[in-house]
Structure 1
Amino acid sequence: MNRPRSLKRVAVLPILAIALAAGGCSGSADDHLPAGTNAQSPMTSDPNRVVRGEYLAKAGDCSACHDAADHTPLGGGMPVNSPFGPIYASNLTPDPTFGIGRYTLGEFSDALRYGKRRDGKRLYPAMPYASFAKMTDDDVTALYAYLMHGVMPAAKRAPETHLPFPFNQRWGMLFWTFAFGNRDQFSPDPKQSAQWNRGAYLVQGLGHCGACHTPRGPAYNELGYSEESPLYLTGGVIDHWFAPNLTGDPGSGLGRWSREDIVRFLRTGHGAGAIAFGAMAPAVEDSTQYLTDSDLNAIAVYLKSLPPQRAYGDYNDNAHAKVQTARSLETGEKERHGAGIYLSFCARCHQVDGQGQTGKVAALAGSPLVLAEDPTSVMRIVIEGSNSPATETGPAPQKMPGFHDQLTTSQIAEVVSFVRSAWGNHAAPVSDRQVERLRSKIHK
């Protein structure tokens, strides 16, 4: 799971009215898994399934939200930030009192895929059950087997989530699921290759990439759960980070990335001059670096098949643009605002030509993140810095310092605007107001 994005308050009653007008909504949709199957069943205690489930838990990045603050694996209790208050992640260990030890396979499936707890209460969509609904029965069974037999029980009670009215009315999530969620398992496309279908299954389902990279509607609903939606994977803001466009847009998307770039990025956190940042860095550390080469290549094949959507920004890699930028850096603020700030605070690491340093510092020239329509992440990295991921096969982690104590709001806006227009980059400038609004939200 990933941290929820900022969300404007929405009225619950209209949502409920839509669902009721449509005829309500059923409870469990699990008609395939054997009823009453529990952790003692030979099917769910099979060692091969436990091993398979451990791999799936890494692919789904379960630890990102469900590890305890003291690092107890899947012990729960970590707050997932929301504008209405913290939503605490559940204890997923097989402890019978505080964890999921009493869950049957069917009850586990209902919680994982349909957002329904064993006690009948509904989960908030910070848990991406709309994506996990796409999981196959075999994968649900394997994940259940791992959680029941491959994880040590932890007698830890996760704090109760207490949101203000009307968001504390969990029963309303039943109607949210009907009106905005997804309850369909993944259906392979017979027109595509087995590799493409595997990649689509991982991206849409267990990997729940859309939870961060797809924009959301006023009810915190993802605006699409597959490539059938033109907004799917076109970028979204999560907890004051902008997760970039993953479609084939050559400006702010993956249009100029190769399959090999995508595989390298998911394996090491470094690819095509980019470095994983924000919530993506731990996702690489704890999840994607452990995927098989076959699965990483399948993901790359699927992502590279997506046509450009919500195109924004442009990069012209030509000598004229580079000369103009070099002249601006030589003359500083006189010719282009922000050039002097970049030269003083950024050029030593990111280089005068904006190419960065391979394995250490991200390139800014042609960066899809820099060219994104939403500059939130670029502004935030300048304000508070960022850490690159620590992986088994990638470069040593590096830390970029934050400049919130050294640069004013206006200076941050100027240097970000300069970067978005230098070396052939073409993206809109950033205003003082945008920077100030973000600074106030992240308390810097």
Structure 2
Amino acid sequence: MKFKQRLKKLLAVSIPVLLVVGGATAWFVNRTPASPFDGQAAPRSADLVQRGEYVARASDCVACHSLPGHPAYAGGLEMPTPMGSIFATNITPDKETGIGAYSLADFDRAVRMGVARDGHRLYPAMPYPSYARLDDADVQALYAYFMEKVRPVRLASKESDIPWPLNMRWPLALWNVGFMPGEPYRADPSKDAMWNRGAYLVQAAGHCGACHTPRGIAMNEKGLDQRSGSFLSGAVINGWYAPSLRGDFNLGLARWSEEDIHRFLKTGRNQHGVVFGSMAEAFNNSTQFLTDTDLKAMAHYLKSLPGDPDRDGTPWKYETGPITSTSLGKGATSGARLYAAKCSFCHGVDGRGKAPWIPPLAGTASSLATESASSINVTLNSSQRVVANGVPDAYRMPAFREQLSDAQIADLLTFVRTSWGNKGGDITARDVEKIRKNTKASETGIVILPH
């Protein structure tokens, strides 16, 4: 009897509590977040549209929401995740399949809060945790550009292939509470205007952290601004290693001047390297179109971020390589022979390349990082062609996936990553096999909008 009485008392207390908590949770996850533009008409002046086009460039919207050879912003790009693939949506102003029926407030909720017009939550592959820092004026301008200048395309967006129950969207409302910034970017009064402009572009429109910041167990960026030492400290994403953008000597920008960074963002190359992988897309579609003032501001901000010697390790020093005119005899390793035959003509027997056209392999982040994704991926598949001012580059890394076996690529890259002072370490045939199975040779088509 005592047990039944206790059970009744427990149920009498717990059931109302569960109902209240459950109801509050349901209200929270299903509510429509407020926008500062609720009830407002959207201005669409020519100047605002032009500004919006620039913000779209800075935000690199076209890279994710377009496919080579297809209309800009019509969606379709496949984005692999650990749970399955999602597909970028149509964001042209088509009223049926795009965002043509969105009000300015609807658009704001999607861009800065990750909530679509019909109330469903967007996956954070859409970098709304970064776009949340956009100011109101840039959101207005972006909306004006998409509604007035982008051509509407009737094309239904593809559904994700993430299985149930992982495809449920309501938990993202709780995810946002833990991992979203609470407000748009606010200038730091202790810093100058150049630093603040650079911080705004890097953190908000540029969403650099989406690739260059490591992720936590909930797939959240571990830091959203300079207050976190993890912010922009390097990460692997979509088969590429995005290196540190902090003041790390080996894996970051300590050896780069502000002018080096500016030149890299403006021309796609400098004495330290050439854009490749995901950064080639960002350069082709975004950074080269920004003003020198903005690019220099970004460089100024990035150079202010300190490195972490404990994470970065002993500073790299160049060491004379093992390839000489007499070193490829009977005792030469397979990797040395392959490098001499396949790579040395462009990258040099000394691994120093031919700047600024052909990047060095000695002392680069991809050769020093323990993460080997970029080294393997670019060797297997090449990279998107670099297009500067509408002109494709003449020096392109070839794809070796049809020429070399997994074991040969492993030997070649082990040689590169352990020569000239590089300390990235050995690569196994199994490492190459994994990336070969999950990638394909780079597409030659590039989505470039008219300047």
TM-score (norm 1): 0.87
**Are residue 400 (structure 1) and residue 403 (structure 2) matched?**
no
Question: How far off its partner does 1:407 sit?
Answer: 2.5
Identity among equivalent positions (%) equals 42
Amino acid in structure 1 at the alignment position of 2:108: S
Residue 36 (structure 1) aligns with: 39
**Are residue 419 (structure 1) and residue 416 (structure 2) matched?**
yes
Alignment of 1:147-186 (within 5 A): 147-186=146-185
**Are residue 389 (structure 1) and residue 390 (structure 2) matched?**
no
Residue 227 (structure 2) aligns with: 228
Question: How far off its partner does 1:332 sit?
Answer: 5.4
Runs of 5+ consecutive residues of structure 1 not aligned to the other structure: 1-16
Residue 136 (structure 1) aligns with: 135
Residue 50 (structure 1) aligns with: 49
Contact 1:387 1:397 in 2 (8 A): no
Contact 2:366 2:424 in 1 (8 A): no
Amino acid in structure 2 at the alignment position of 1:386: S
Deviation per residue, 1:182-227 (Å, 9 max, x gap): 3321121111111011111111111000111111112211111111
Runs of 5+ consecutive residues of structure 2 not aligned to the other structure: 1-17, 442-451
Contact 1:412 1:435 in 2 (8 A): yes
Question: Given the superposition, is the C-alpha separation of residues 108 and 387 from structure 1 closer, same or farther in structure 2, using an over 3 Å criterion?
Answer: closer
Question: Given the superposition, is the C-alpha separation of residues 333 and 226 from structure 1 closer, same or farther in structure 2, using an over 3 Å criterion?
Answer: farther
**Are residue 192 (structure 1) and residue 191 (structure 2) matched?**
yes
Distance in 2 (alpha carbons) for counterparts of 1:179 and 1:270? 38
Alignment of 1:85-124 (within 5 A): 85-124=84-123
Question: Given the superposition, is the C-alpha separation of residues 129 and 328 from structure 1 closer, same or farther in structure 2, using an over 3 Å criterion?
Answer: farther
Amino acid in structure 2 at the alignment position of 1:401: P
Question: How far off its partner does 1:357 sit?
Answer: 2.1
Question: Given the superposition, is the C-alpha separation of residues 387 and 169 from structure 1 closer, same or farther in structure 2, using an over 3 Å criterion?
Answer: closer
Deviation per residue, 1:8-29 (Å, 9 max, x gap): xxxxxxxxx9xx89x8557555
Amino acid in structure 1 at the alignment position of 2:366: L
Question: How far off its partner does 1:399 sit?
Answer: 2.2
Question: How far off its partner does 1:325 sit?
Answer: 2.7
Question: How far off its partner does 1:70 sit?
Answer: 4.4
**Are residue 356 (structure 1) and residue 360 (structure 2) matched?**
no
Contact 1:328 1:339 in 2 (8 A): no
Question: Given the superposition, is the C-alpha separation of residues 365 and 170 from structure 1 closer, same or farther in structure 2, using an over 3 Å criterion?
Answer: same
Distance in 2 (alpha carbons) for counterparts of 1:338 and 1:67? 39
Amino acid in structure 2 at the alignment position of 1:141: Q
RMSD: 2.4
Residue 270 (structure 2) aligns with: 271
Contact 1:314 1:371 in 2 (8 A): no
Question: How far off its partner does 1:68 sit?
Answer: 4.9
Aligned length: 416
Contact 2:273 2:356 in 1 (8 A): no
Deviates more, 1:84-93 or 1:213-222: 84-93
Deviation per residue, 1:338-357 (Å, 9 max, x gap): 22221111101111111212
Alignment of 1:256-405 (within 5 A): 256-309=255-308, 310-312=311-313, 314-317=315-318, 321-322=319-320, 324-327=321-324, 330-331=327-328, 334=331, 338-392=335-389, 396-405=393-402
State the SS of the aligned residue for 2:241. strand
| Higher Rg of the two aligned structures | 2
Residue 212 (structure 2) aligns with: 213
Contact 2:271 2:356 in 1 (8 A): no
Question: How far off its partner does 1:74 sit?
Answer: 1.3
Amino acid in structure 2 at the alignment position of 1:32: P
Distance in 2 (alpha carbons) for counterparts of 1:107 and 1:74? 18
Distance in 1 (alpha carbons) for counterparts of 2:57 and 2:317? 39
Deviation per residue, 1:245-277 (Å, 9 max, x gap): 111111111110111111111112112331111
Distance in 2 (alpha carbons) for counterparts of 1:426 and 1:212? 23
Distance in 1 (alpha carbons) for counterparts of 2:348 and 2:327? 14
State the SS of the aligned residue for 2:327. helix
State the SS of the aligned residue for 1:242. strand
Distance in 1 (alpha carbons) for counterparts of 2:391 and 2:139? 31
Amino acid in structure 1 at the alignment position of 2:36: H
Distance in 1 (alpha carbons) for counterparts of 2:202 and 2:331? 47
Amino acid in structure 2 at the alignment position of 1:36: G
Distance in 2 (alpha carbons) for counterparts of 1:211 and 1:246? 12
Question: Given the superposition, is the C-alpha separation of residues 128 and 170 from structure 1 closer, same or farther in structure 2, using an over 3 Å criterion?
Answer: same
Question: How far off its partner does 1:136 sit?
Answer: 0.3
Question: Given the superposition, is the C-alpha separation of residues 332 and 181 from structure 1 closer, same or farther in structure 2, using an over 3 Å criterion?
Answer: farther
Residue 63 (structure 1) aligns with: 62
Question: How far off its partner does 1:180 sit?
Answer: 2.7
Amino acid in structure 2 at the alignment position of 1:152: R
Contact 2:323 2:336 in 1 (8 A): no
Deviation per residue, 1:170-189 (Å, 9 max, x gap): 11211121233333211211
Question: How far off its partner does 1:130 sit?
Answer: 0.4
State the SS of the aligned residue for 1:73. coil
Question: Given the superposition, is the C-alpha separation of residues 69 and 353 from structure 1 closer, same or farther in structure 2, using an over 3 Å criterion?
Answer: closer
Question: How far off its partner does 1:102 sit?
Answer: 1.6
Question: Given the superposition, is the C-alpha separation of residues 384 and 249 from structure 1 closer, same or farther in structure 2, using an over 3 Å criterion?
Answer: same
Question: Given the superposition, is the C-alpha separation of residues 259 and 163 from structure 1 closer, same or farther in structure 2, using an over 3 Å criterion?
Answer: same
Question: How far off its partner does 1:104 sit?
Answer: 1.3
State the SS of the aligned residue for 1:80. strand
Contact 1:69 1:77 in 2 (8 A): no
Question: How far off its partner does 1:387 sit?
Answer: 3.7
State the SS of the aligned residue for 1:274. coil
Question: Given the superposition, is the C-alpha separation of residues 176 and 95 from structure 1 closer, same or farther in structure 2, using an over 3 Å criterion?
Answer: same
State the SS of the aligned residue for 1:357. coil
Question: How far off its partner does 1:334 sit?
Answer: 2.3
Amino acid in structure 1 at the alignment position of 2:148: H
Deviation per residue, 1:123-176 (Å, 9 max, x gap): 011100000000001111110111111112222222223420122111121112
State the SS of the aligned residue for 1:121. coil
Question: How far off its partner does 1:243 sit?
Answer: 0.9
Distance in 2 (alpha carbons) for counterparts of 1:357 and 1:424? 19
Deviates more, 1:360-369 or 1:280-289: 360-369
Contact 1:312 1:373 in 2 (8 A): no
Deviation per residue, 1:411-430 (Å, 9 max, x gap): 22222122122223233222
Question: Given the superposition, is the C-alpha separation of residues 303 and 394 from structure 1 closer, same or farther in structure 2, using an over 3 Å criterion?
Answer: farther
